[in-house]
Amino acid sequence: MKTKRIVVVPTIAILLLAVLISVASAQATKPASATKPTIVIVHGAWGGSWAFRNVEALLRSKGFNVYRPQLTGLGERVHLTRPEIGLSTHIEDVVNTIRYEDLHNIILVGHSYGGMVITGVADRLPDRISRLVYLDAFVPSDGESVTSMAGTRGDWLKNMIKGDYIVPAWVKPDQPPPRDEPQPLKTFTEPLSLKNKAALGLPGTYILTVDAGKKAENDDFWPSAQRAKERGWPILQLTADHNAQWSAPEALAEMLSRVR
């Protein structure tokens, strides 16, 4: 009768094998977002973070972590609106999102009025941001405001000013949410205050959206695109109306996914 040989594997060898299996498993399941920058999207005037919901879903499907901070007094935070809300309030909204979510290596996107906001955020947190992206947006310098940059191009806004707010003419009183909301006038009149020279070296990209069949130089944001060009930033052009998040979400998400 043969005697069975019992092989005893040392406990340390078993533990080492378990560690190796665990590490291999973790690497295999490591999300793509861990190796990609975080994208933070700041919406424009009257709007809300809800407008970029589809763009976020498309970017997340490509492996990105995406945040859509809601500016105070608009969108889901319309119940907090008050005349005292200014550009500095909205800058603080995004700064706090970045700080409390502990975000780093950020591609910070600003749409339209959001360009004013992300410029102020970059001045506050330049070490957290890898690139600024201006999506058909204002590219301001120190001391400028929306009204000063718009100049005569912004004359159409005057008819929408009702007291301390700029009320969107395209929203009906009985229109259910999500919808655009009155914009506190101070957000357009408050000058941008920039103090951090370190922010001046941040790279940027400008995305100019142009309606099909129209010339780029006739676009309302052409002057801002030219300012971006003067700063040495690449200018990308997307065939879409001003709200590309609705008219061309797939193309916009693809373009944002390639920005580095």
Task: State the pLDDT at residue 82.
Answer: 98
User: According to the model, what pLDDT value does residue 34 have?
Assistant: 57
How does pLDDT run across 34-79, given as a tens digit for each residue?
A: 589 999 999 999 999 999 999 999 999 999 999 999 999 999 999 9
pLDDT at 244: 98
Give tens-digit pLDDT for 119-145.
999 999 999 999 999 999 999 999 999
Q: DSSP class of residue 260?
A: -
Query: Model's pTM, two decimal places?
Result: 0.87
| Average pLDDT rounded to a whole number, residues 11-27 | 47
What confidence score (pLDDT) does residue 152 get?
75
Kindly tell me if the per-residue pLDDT of 180 is higher than 60.
yes
Q: What is the DSSP letter of 3?
A: P
What mean pLDDT, rounded, does the chain reach?
90
pLDDT value at residue 194 = 97
Domains assigned to the chain: 36-258 (3.40.50.1820)
Give the per-residue pLDDT at 37.
96
The full DSSP string for 56-124 is: HHHHHHTT--EE-PPPTTSGGGGGG--TT--HHHHHHHHHHHHHHTT--SEEEEEETTHHHHHHHHHHH
Rounded CA-CA distance 146/114 in Å is 10
pLDDT value at 110 more than 50: yes
What pLDDT does residue 153 have? 76
pLDDT of 233 higher than 50: yes
pLDDT band at 11 (very low <50, low <70, confident <90, very high): low
Catalytic center residues:
112
Between 65 and 2, the more confident residue is 65
pLDDT for 136: 98
Distance CA 107, CA 104 (A): 9
CA distance 83 to 89: 11
Q: Which two tokens stand for residue 10?
A: 């040392």
Residue-level pLDDT at 14: 46
Condensed to tens digits (0 to 9), the pLDDT of residues 181-195 reads 999 999 999 999 999
Task: List beta partners, residue 183.
Answer: 166
